[in-house]
Structures are given as C-alpha cells and as structure tokens.
Structure 1
Amino acid sequence: MIELDKTDHVIVRALMRDARVTSKALGEKLGLSQPATWRRIKRLKDSGVISGRRLRLDREKLGLGVTVFLGVKLATKRRVSLEDFERAVSAIPEVLSVEHVLGLYDYRLKVVATDIPDFERVLRRRIMTLPGAGEVEANVLLSEERRPGPI
C-alpha cells in the first residue's frame, strides 16, 4: 500500500474533477514543477491508485432516459448458479454494472433504458429469463448528484 501525502491527495482530487488536466497546469496550481508533478502522477499510476481515465456519457442525450437499480435474489445459490447468472447478465448491453452483494438480494444491477416500457421489455425478456433469476425489486433513479469521493 502506498502512503499518500497532502500533495498526492490534492493531485488525486484534481484528476477526479478533470482527468485531462496536464501535469504542467496541475503543477502550476500546486507550486510544483511539471517534472515533479509528472513523477507524482506516474507513481500514483504505477502503484494502482490511479487506474485509468473514464469517459462520462450523457445518457439522456444518448436516448437512455431511465436508470433503474435492480435487486435480484437468485432462486438457487449454488456456485454454478452464481457463475451462470453472472455470465448471462454481463452479456446484456442495458446492464451497466453487476454487483454481488450481501443482504436481502444477491445482486444489484444498474440498468438503463430509453423509457419505462423499454425497461419493462428488458426486465421481462432479458433479466427475468436469466438462469437462476428469482425475486426482483426495482428502484427507478429520479435524480443523481455526482460527488468526487472521499479524497
């Protein structure tokens, strides 16, 4: 595990806000030279603290106006059932994330659709037909506030 100092935390927060910022511009804000800032960013990347850059898409502009979180309880919980379910659900393009969780449900899925009728189609034809799928609870996203995280 890498030890992060105050400057490292500032760098991580700045990159979380805008991953495209140059090491020169970031260094100027921090009072560091471009090479010193670049070395710190490289150290953060090499240690795995920074693992890549993500592209954030506007789902509404892409015609995906509905986001639903699904809690899925499997009908059976054998190892084969878990693997079959995970493999099958990962192939559904409308499913953005699959999380194996502890609690009332076995999995939490983040699903996008153009509208509620489209979501119903995805639910009935794709998700409810998955191997091992049992009880499902849907929560429709009303609004979302993106936060940079704890650092």
Structure 2
Amino acid sequence: MAVQIDETDARILRLVQKDARLTSAQMSQRLNLSASACHRRLQRLEATGAIEATVALVNPRVVGRPTTVFVEISLASQADDVLDAFETAVARIPDVLECHLMTGAYDYLLKVVARDSEDFASIHRRHLARLPGVAKLQSSFALKTVCKTTALPV
C-alpha cells in the first residue's frame, strides 16, 4: 500500500536513511522546518509503515563475516506446500540475510554471509543441502562489492 509522500516527507526519509540517529532538532535545522513538525512527520511516517524499523548496520568484516555468497536454488516442485516448507525452513537459517522468490532459471536467490569458504561449506552441508524440496543449488562467491546501499530512492 503506497503512502502519500510529499517533498518534505521525502527529504526526511532521505535524511533518516543516511543517519537514523539524527534528532528532530538536527533534522529541523537541515530541512528548515520546526522540530515539532519534523517529529510529527516522523511519527506519521512510522505509523503508516513508510519507516519500517530503525536499525544499526553492522560491518560484516568487523564481526568476522566478510564472505558473501549468492545461492541460486531450484525446487523439485512448485506446489504450495513445497514452497511454504522451503520458505519456513530457509527463514530459520541465521546465515541467510535475504531470500527472494524469483522468475527465470531458478526459484530462489539467497544472500548468505560466512567467515570464509570453509564456513560456507559448513553452512551448505548443515543447512542449505537439507532444505525441503531442493532439486539444485548453485553458489557464487562475491569477489568485490562495487556498490551497496540500504537507502531507497525517494
């Protein structure tokens, strides 16, 4: 469901996507808007779901998870119960940061983080190879991150 976003709301969203720690007073100075108006708009953006959550982005290298692997998964069947069982099981794997149902050559694309290739081999053996309904897995290691953002264009 799309929410009505005016230019001031968009400017607030751009600011909080860059730095969610900004106070309403700091935002108000950057936006030339009163602190109370900034606060009200932030509350409305949160209440309408335009802002889903405020989180800290953890540096994967610092916490020992510098290896990113993209895993393409094809299922043996497209039946609802197979899809549901797969999605429930994959959501329980802490190393999987993202899982997307896809169109095209494979059914799901996973973004997995690991310490190194040996750690990924363990994740593959313990979790990925045991996912229900899997017919084929293909893994690709990211060699370099060229660009990365969590900020949506608004």
TM-score, structure 2 normalization: 0.90
Report if aligned partners of 1:128, 1:134 keep a CA contact under 8 Å in 2: no
Q: Deviations over 1:103-150 (max 9, x none)?
A: 211111111111001111211332112111111121212233223331
Q: Distance in 1 between matches of 2:123 and 2:98?
A: 15
RMSD: 1.4
Q: Distance in 2 between matches of 1:43 and 1:89?
A: 33
Correspondence 1:16 to 2:1: no
Q: Distance in 2 between matches of 1:126 and 1:35?
A: 49
Q: What is the letter of the counterpart of residue 136 of structure 1?
A: L
Correspondence 1:150 to 2:150: no
- Equivalenced residue count is 151
CA apart distance, 1:28: 0.9
Provide the secondary structure at the position in 2 that maps to 1:128. Answer: helix
CA apart distance, 1:70: 0.7
Structure 1 spans left out of the alignment, 5+ residues: none
Q: Distance in 1 between matches of 2:125 and 2:135?
A: 12
Q: Deviations over 1:65-108 (max 9, x none)?
A: 21111110001222111111112222222112221222211111
Q: What is the letter of the counterpart of residue 117 of structure 1?
A: E
Aligned to 1:117: 118
Aligned to 1:71: 72
Q: Distance in 2 between matches of 1:119 and 1:2?
A: 40
Report if aligned partners of 1:67, 1:141 keep a CA contact under 8 Å in 2: yes
TM-score, structure 1 normalization: 0.92
Q: Distance in 2 between matches of 1:107 and 1:52?
A: 25
Correspondence 1:53 to 2:47: no
Aligned to 1:40: 41
Aligned to 2:96: 95
Provide the secondary structure at the position in 2 that maps to 1:67. Answer: strand
User: Percent same amino acid at aligned positions?
Assistant: 36
